[in-house]
Amino acid sequence: MTIFLRAGGQLRAMLKPDIDHYTRKVEIDSEQTIGEILTAISLDPAYVALVYVDGKMKDLSFKPSEGQTITLQPPVSGG
Amino acid sequence: MANGLAGTTLRINLNTGEIKRYPTDEKLMREWFGGRGVIAKILYDEVPRDADPFGPENLFIMSAGVMSGCFIPSGAKIEFGSVSPLTNGHGDSNMGGHLGPALKFAGYDMVIMSGISPKPIYLFIDDDKVELRDASQYWGMGSLECEPKMKKDLGEDFEIATIGPAGENGIRFSCITHDFGRQAGRTGQGAVMGSKKLKAIAVRGTGGIKVHDLQKLTEYVTAIIKRTQTHPNMAPWQKYGTAFFIDWSNKNAVIPVRNFQTTYYENIEGISGEALVEKCLITHKACFGCWMNCGKYTKAVIPGKQAVYLEGPEYETGSLCGSNLGMTDINQVAYLNWLMDNVGMDTMSGGGVVAFAMECFQRGLITTEDLEGHTLNWGSVEDAEHFIDMVVHRRGIGEYFSGGSKRAAEKIGRGSEKFAMQVKGQEISGYDGRYAPGMLLSYMTCDIGAHHNRSWTITVDMAEGRDKIEGRAKVVVYLQHIRPLFDCWCICRLFWGELDIEPEEIVEALNHITGWNIDAAEAFKTSEKIWNLVRCHYLERNKANGRTFDYPPARSWEDKIPTGPSAGKGLSKEQIEAMLDEYYACRGWDNNGNPSREVLHDLKLDFAADNIEKLGLLGKPLPNGIPTVRGERYKPKAF
């Protein structure tokens, strides 16, 4: 099935977007977790501080559904 | 009037009440960039080296910078500076909100205050009306109570910044609070205001700011807005602020736990970003000209206490007053955030000082007898609250801690110096550096004492290998040049630095505003100049080789991380020395940590070289000369 990964900053270079400036389309197996998907596309999950789906924080064990957009937030220092 | 500037600088003698207006020195602003830069130059030139930070000769300066208040996103900041009572060197700290723009709209770029008022006063600015007004009715009030009271008295459209009882009582890590929840937290600027009997600053401004090329700026801003509105980072920021980072920090074992005793917290879920949103969040809050609204307006409910309302906690407070104090529920963290904001205490140093005291209690170095019959246990909000009250009012042993953890350790002794988690007297930020060598080096070499905001390298440490120390220095130096630029120009790094806007693009905005026509290389060089001036100032005030002051507390090399994913990890003293050696070489400083004449000449700081030479602190000539390029941007490894 198809999902979409979005990332900015340092993660964007690692993601290699192919849909727009921030988004990559990925074909996955239905039972794959986000952590497994990222590893499969050679994006080290350790660089992902936040997995954000439909307005909620998820962790790397989350299994996306068909057509979902997953936003990956890199770590950022505060003020 | 120069573009980007309001046009007038105020000089106020608080002894006499005299207020003088001068045209803002455009050349000075150009050469030193405003904000932190111009503050550094003025402090260096005008404050005697033996001046007491709490004395009349110390200056208290507020500078709104050339970009603040201009037609750009997040041009919201204002910078405060003085000789810090915490570190005895240059101190600066900034805040968002609306005060910086208001000051410029009123017609002022900078306010420089000297002397000490004979009675409590506040600075009142209403466009061209500038007065020192009696503040006796406000003196003693908490910051979060004082601001709404002053708005009611003066008008809701006044922007107000206040200190709380901590600043009034000279607690060396006191902050300045504005817009209910924005603080200039670090380096004790609130204490300097308190020493001058300056309770608050109230500003209303109705003017405008001329820019060099409004059409180009408008086109530029429109493009930036379009780009950043769809940036992937925007939605999570808007929901969680920086609190989302608590989980990641714990998972990667860099979060401070119980005074940095370890780096993985078993109770993280209770204090996470998700917990904040689920249990405490009321709504989101933004600064002037920003739609990121990373601020979180929240409510904290503690059994037996009245509910309190605050802005926060964000990451630093969430970690340093959360896991670092053994708190298990986000309401506890939020309550302590509110408490420290109201008394006017920097939550970062405050969390560090309370944590240090809790470990002293854990180890029997202070007892219930010292604490007026109270305990000071990990995870106890009541204990923390009572202790904070002792510190704010300098009662009993609270007096020891009123100067920060370093001074407290000097009084308590018995090995406590080892775990007073500070550098140069300022408490460390919310990341443990024992298995993040670049981060530790960042703390060690930060110009204002330990602070992450000058250089943050956690992801570099992860990418390059946390066991490896080589090569960190050049990245730290690069970050120490680029990140303070935001504090010079008074724009927010969270917007301009974290949404894929390149340094060259930020300089483009600066040029559209000012017409200075500079490039990124000049920007970095000016920032390096400021960095070196601040270093010279520190050496001159503290009269010893720079290396003397650049060490972290001994826990950093004596205590390996005991538990969690990083158990057993840590740096040796030899590795710490090697990192310093590499850093100084990268900077063109000698191995004593003193700038060489060659690098100071390259930065047009010959006057500073002459001054430190008189003290025997000029860096020896480097055998291979100074590096041509000092600092290198980190490029993430390709996958």
B293 pLDDT higher than 50: yes
**Superfamily per CATH, domain B8-204:** Aldehyde ferredoxin oxidoreductase, N-terminal domain (3.60.9.10)
Domain coverage including residue A57: 2-73
Q: Tokens 């300045």 — which residue?
A: B176
Average pLDDT of the residues in B606-624: 96
Average pLDDT of the residues in B264-293: 95
A44 contacts B230? CB cut-off 8 A? no
Return mean pLDDT, chain A: 91
The answer, for A72 touching chain B at a CB cutoff of 8 Å, is: yes
Q: Tokens 């700081």 — which residue?
A: B605
| CATH number of this structure's domain B231-427, picked from the four choices 1.10.569.10, 3.40.50.720, 1.10.10.10, 1.10.730.10 | 1.10.569.10
Q: Are strands B129-134 and B121-126 parallel, antiparallel or unpaired?
A: antiparallel
The answer, for A57 touching chain B at a CB cutoff of 8 Å, is: yes
Which one of A38, A59, A77 would you mutate to disrupt binding with B, by most B Cβ within 10 Å of its Cβ?
A: A77
User: Looking at residue B639, what is its pLDDT?
Assistant: 32
**Nearest CA among B173, B95, B86, B144 for reference residue B354:** B173
Instruction: Note the Cα A28 to chain centre separation in Å.
Output: 12
Average pLDDT of the residues in B508-528: 96
pLDDT tens digits for B80-139? 999 999 999 999 999 999 999 999 999 999 999 999 999 999 999 999 999 999 999 999
Give contacts of A72 with chain B, Cβ < 8 Å.
Answer: 232
Which one of A16, A71, A76 would you mutate to disrupt binding with B, by most B Cβ within 10 Å of its Cβ?
A: A76
- Give me the sheet containing B176-178, strands edge to edge: B129-134, B121-126, B198-204, B159-162, B176-178, B182-184
Return mean pLDDT, chain B: 96
Residue at A79 is within a domain: no
Angle formed by the axes of helices B330-343 and B143-154, nearest 10°: 60
Residue at A58 is within a domain: yes
Torsion sign (Cα): B85, B86, B91, B92: negative
A6 contacts B273? CB cut-off 8 A? no
User: Looking at residue B615, what is its pLDDT?
Assistant: 98
CA distances for B618 relative to A76, B7, B527, B622, angstroms: 37, 38, 21, 12
- Would you place residue B633 in the very low, low, confident or very high pLDDT band (cuts 50, 70, 90)? confident
A14 contacts B233? CB cut-off 8 A? no
Please give the structure tokens belonging to residue B141: 């009030």
On whether the pTM is more than 0.95, the answer is yes
Torsion sign (Cα): B472, B474, B478, B484: positive
Torsion sign (Cα): B483, B530, B578, B556: negative
Residue at A26 is within a domain: yes
Question: What CATH number should be reported for the domain holding residue A6?
Answer: 3.10.20.30
B2 pLDDT higher than 90: no
User: Looking at residue A46, what is its pLDDT?
Assistant: 85
Distance CA B27, CA B34 (A): 10
Distance CA B192, CA B196 (A): 6
Give contacts of B239 with chain A, Cβ < 8 Å.
Answer: 52, 55
pLDDT tens digits for A7-52? 998 788 889 999 998 999 999 988 999 999 999 999 988 889 889 9
pLDDT tens digits for B418-428? 999 999 999 99
Torsion sign (Cα): B251, B254, B258, B261: positive
- Would you place residue B636 in the very low, low, confident or very high pLDDT band (cuts 50, 70, 90)? low
Structurally, chain A folds into a number of domains equal to 1
The answer, for A7 touching chain B at a CB cutoff of 8 Å, is: yes
The more confident residue out of B57 and B629 is: B57
The answer, for A49 touching chain B at a CB cutoff of 8 Å, is: yes
**Nearest CA among B224, B245, B214 for reference residue B74:** B224
Distance CA B158, CA B124 (A): 10
Bridge partner residues of B160 (DSSP): B202
In terms of CA atoms, which chain B residue is nearest residue A13? B638
Residue at A78 is within a domain: no
**Nearest CA among B48, B141, B65 for reference residue B103:** B65
Instruction: Note the Cα A39 to chain centre separation in Å.
Output: 10
The CATH code that applies to domain B437-614 is: 1.10.599.10
- Would you place residue B249 in the very low, low, confident or very high pLDDT band (cuts 50, 70, 90)? very high
Contact between B579 and B441 under an 8 Å Cβ cutoff? The reply is yes
Domain positions in chain B? 8-204, 231-427, 437-614
The answer, for A33 touching chain B at a CB cutoff of 8 Å, is: no
